[in-house]
Amino acid sequence: MSEIKVDTLTGKTTANDITVTVGATATQSLELGLTKGLLNYNQITDTVTDSLNISSVSDDSTSIFTTTHINNHTDALYFPSTTPIVENGSSRGGGLFGISGDYNPVSSSASITTSTMKFESCRASSHVNGATATGGEYDRATVIVCGSLA
Amino acid sequence: MGTLKVDTVVGSDGTSPVTLTKQSAAKALLLFNQLSGTATSVRTLNIGSLVDGANGMSTVSFTSSFDAVDYCHLTGGATDSDNLNCATINRDNSAAAATTSSMPILVQVSSTTTDDNRDFNSVGWWGDLA
C-alpha cells in the first residue's frame, strides 16, 4: 500500500472539487461527503463538549438551542442529523432530539439557515413504559452536518 | 505545510478505493420533503431515485450500491416539544427489507399513532460502497 502524507488537499482545477474513488469503480466528490459540522452539547449544563465549525451555541429556552456556524453553508438545503444521548441514570427517559418546530429550510421562519441551526428536544418523563412525554433536555445532544460551504 | 493540488485521487493500483486515515466520508445524502404529501427529493448525493409509497413511506435507491447491507444512516427531522410532535425517519423493513442498493424509509410522528408525512427530512448514509 502506498501512502501520501500531506497536510492540505486542494483541487487543481477547482479548489473544492476533488474526485475520490470510493468503491470498486464508483467515484465521488470528496467535498460533498466530508462532514462540515459536529456538535456534542450538554443541554442540561449548557456546555459544548466538542464541536467542528460551530462558533457558538445559545440556550434559547428549555429544550431549545441555536448554533451558529463559523463557515456558512451555500444555502439552507444541507443535511443535519441529530442523536440524543442519555447519561443521567436517575432521569433516563426516551424521547427525541431534532430540528426545532416545522423543519422547512425554504420558509421565512426556518429553523435551518445558511448560518444557524435551531434544535429542540422532547423527552419522556421516565423510562417507565407509557410515561408521559414532556419537553426536556439531554446530557448530550449530538449533531452531524454535511453539505457544501460557501 | 505540504499542499497537494490534484483533481482525482485513486488507490495506488489505479482502480481501488482510497482510504482516508481516521476519517470517513458520507457515501449518500438525501434532503427530501413531503409538503405535497408525496416524497420529493430536494438535494442528493449518490441517490438514484426516491419513490413515494403509502403515507409516510418511500424507498430510496442508491446510484452506487453499498458493499453490504449493514451500512448505517443518520437522520434529521422536526421536533416540536410544545405539541410533543417529533418526527423520526426510520429504516423500514416492514414492507421490504433494505438491500445494498435500496432502503425503505418510514417517517413517523410521535403525536400520532400513524405514519405521517413531514415538511422536510434529512438522511445521510455511511459505509463502504461496492
B19 in a structural domain: no
CA–CA separation, A65 and A118 (whole Å): 6
B51 in a structural domain: yes
A60 vs B: CB within 8 A: no
With 60 as the cut, is the pLDDT of residue A92 above it? no
Predicted pLDDT at B103: 94
Q: Domain count of chain B?
A: 1
Polymer length of chain B: 130
> Could you give the C-alpha distances from A34 to B83, B84, B128, in angstroms and in order?
35, 33, 14
CA–CA separation, B29 and B51 (whole Å): 15
Cell matching residue A122: 422532547
Going by pLDDT thresholds of 50, 70 and 90, the confidence category of residue A88 is low
Going by pLDDT thresholds of 50, 70 and 90, the confidence category of residue A130 is very low
Does residue A59 or residue A86 have the better pLDDT?
A: A59
Interchain pair A133, B26: CB under 8 A: no
The DSSP bridge pattern shows strands B78-80 and A95-100 to be parallel
With 90 as the cut, is the pLDDT of residue A147 above it? yes
A37 vs B: CB within 8 A: no
Predicted pLDDT at B109: 76
Residues 51-80 of B with CB under 8 A from A: 63-64, 67, 74-80
Chain A residues inside the 8 Å CB shell of B7: 11-13, 17-19
| CA dihedral (A106, A108, A111, A113) positive or negative | positive
Q: What is the dihedral of CA B52, B54, B57, B61, to 10 degrees?
A: -40
Going by pLDDT thresholds of 50, 70 and 90, the confidence category of residue A129 is very low
Domains of chain A by residue range? 35-146
Q: List the single range of A48-57, A86-95, B102-111 with lowest mean pLDDT.
A: A86-95
The complex scores an ipTM of 0.87
- Picking from B63, B64, B79, the nearest residue to A100 by CB comes out as B79
B14 in a structural domain: no
Selected residue of A10, A16, A21, A82 to mutate for chain B interface (largest B Cβ count, 10 A): A21
Structural domain of B101: 28-118+122-126
B4 in a structural domain: no
With 90 as the cut, is the pLDDT of residue A126 above it? no
